[in-house]
Amino acid sequence: MLTRTTLTLLLLAAPLHAAAPAPQQKSSWPPPRASVSDALRDCQVEKPEKLFTVERVVDGDTIYIQRNGAREKLRLLSVDTEEKYMGGKDISASKPSTRFAEQSTGWATGFFLPRSPDEGPAKVGLRFPGGEEARDIYGRLLCHVVTKEGIDFNLLLVRMGHSPYFNKYGNSRLDHERFLAAQRTAMAEKLGIWDSKTNEGGKRRDYSRLMAWWTARATAIDDFRARATASPKRFVACDDPDRLEAALEAGGGEVTLLASVDRFFDEDDGSWTILLRSGDRKRAVRVGVPASGRAALEALDLPGTKDEFRQNYLLVTGQLTRGPRGFRLEGVGASDWRRAGPEPATGG
């Protein structure tokens, strides 16, 4: 018997390749690819115990569900589908609006649509790294979405070529190796974004360059996670204000933060106040740099660490204190700032 998920994929799988060459032409296109059942098997996880109703699909990686009596906006972890057209404007040079984004949104919408009037709305479960819920700076719940049959939709997006493995914010703590395998298979089968015909004649994302950048960032994050696991009060990520609070309540003292720069403020006395990026602006960390100390930081090119395709993460060591607005890191000299990981690899 076909499950809802299998039937949906059978109906939606056809458009994953662009238009095929003319019949009279000999071609290896499209390349051999696995069956729907094999693709689903690649994404099988434990069936969820709790199910929630899907209310709306915004795009390939953002959906709304009903949960605990409230409407909840989800941001799916480890995936990043292409951006839909937004009034002719691109979010950034690395996230242009593309034609394929509309197809991915339609595919995701169709995936969760009822197949008949009697079927009712789709219900899904949620997976969280370490079993702990977390939200991004926009309040979206960060998670994996799992069908009632136990198919991880995040993995499926990568496996079917609708998203790269998005490790810009760290390698997956749930399924790192499976995401890599799903991406390798999708690339080999030239599915979705990995098909050279996708977005032909329009804007495209430079995935080779993007993935090198994301991997450099992920390396920095993974190295820091290992340190934080060994000494959680000593090593704290700036974007985790709850752990900053815990470190302060444990006595404060010297900490090393994994940080990226949000903004620079030039003060009247020639000093800098550096605002570090946080998941909660009211509990962000600020670092003061005296006017006499700015020249010593030039080699680190702190303003340049805000750029795309650079290593954005820094390690900063100092005394964690509470300030009038959030936290402050005191006693930070030039030698207390270090790059947290390598620069992105370049082709050649």
Q: Give tens-digit pLDDT for 97-127.
A: 899 999 999 999 999 987 777 888 899 999 9
CB atoms within 10 A of CB 152: 26
Q: What is the predicted pLDDT for the residue at 23? A: 47
| DSSP per position, 246-272 | HHHHTT--EEEEEE-EEEEEE-TTS-E
Higher pLDDT, 129 or 88: 129
Query: 4-18+26-205 has which CATH code?
Result: 2.40.50.90
The percentage of the chain sitting over the pLDDT mark of 70, rounded to a whole number, equals: 89
Q: What type of residue sits at position 58? A: V
Q: What is the pLDDT of residue 181?
A: 97
**pLDDT tens-digit readout, 266-311:** 999 999 999 999 978 899 999 999 999 999 999 899 999 999 999 9
What's the pLDDT band for 21 if we cut at 50, 70, 90? very low
* Helix or strand (DSSP H, E) at 248: helix 241-249
Task: Tell me the average pLDDT of the chain.
Answer: 89
Determine the 3-state secondary structure of 276 from DSSP: strand
Rounded CA gap, 42 and 180, in Å? 11
Cα–Cα distance measured from residue 299 to residue 311, given in angstroms and rounded to the nearest whole number: 14
The alpha carbon dihedral of 132, 315, 244, 141 has a sign of negative
**How does pLDDT run across 252-266, given as a tens digit for each residue?**
789 999 999 999 999
Pairing of the two strands 314-322 and 285-289? unpaired
Give residue 201's pLDDT: 87
Q: Check residue 87 and give its pLDDT.
A: 64
247, 287 contact by CB (below 8 A): no
> pLDDT of 39-64, one tens digit each?
999 999 999 999 999 999 999 899 99
Task: Say which residue, 243 or 93, is predicted with more confidence.
Answer: 243
- Please tell me the predicted confidence (pLDDT) of residue 251: 83
**pTM to 2 decimals?**
0.88
Tell me if the domain spanning 220-339 has CATH number 2.40.50: yes
Percent of the chain's residues with pLDDT above 90: 71
| Residue 32 confidence (pLDDT) | 61
What's residue 292's pLDDT? 93
Using alpha carbons, list the distances in angstroms from residue 292 to 12, 23, 49, 147, 166: 62, 72, 59, 58, 40
Q: Could you tell me where in the chain the CATH 2.40.50.90 domains are found?
A: 4-18+26-205
Judged against a pLDDT cut of 70, whether residue 26 lies above it is answered with no
- For the ranges 36-45, 72-81, 163-172, 211-220, the lowest mean pLDDT is seen at 36-45
pLDDT the model gives residue 320 = 95
- The residue that leads in pLDDT, 312 or 34, is 312
pLDDT digits (tens, 9 = 90+) for 182-230: 999 999 999 999 999 999 988 899 999 999 999 999 999 999 999 999 9
Phi, psi of 12 (to 5 degrees): -100, -15
Question: Mean pLDDT over residues 145-165, rounded?
Answer: 97
CA distances from 237 to 225, 285, 295 (A): 9, 10, 26
Cα distance between residue 331 and residue 287, in whole Å = 9
- Name, in order, each residue with C-beta under 8 angstroms of 211's C-beta and a sequence gap of 6 or more: 164, 165
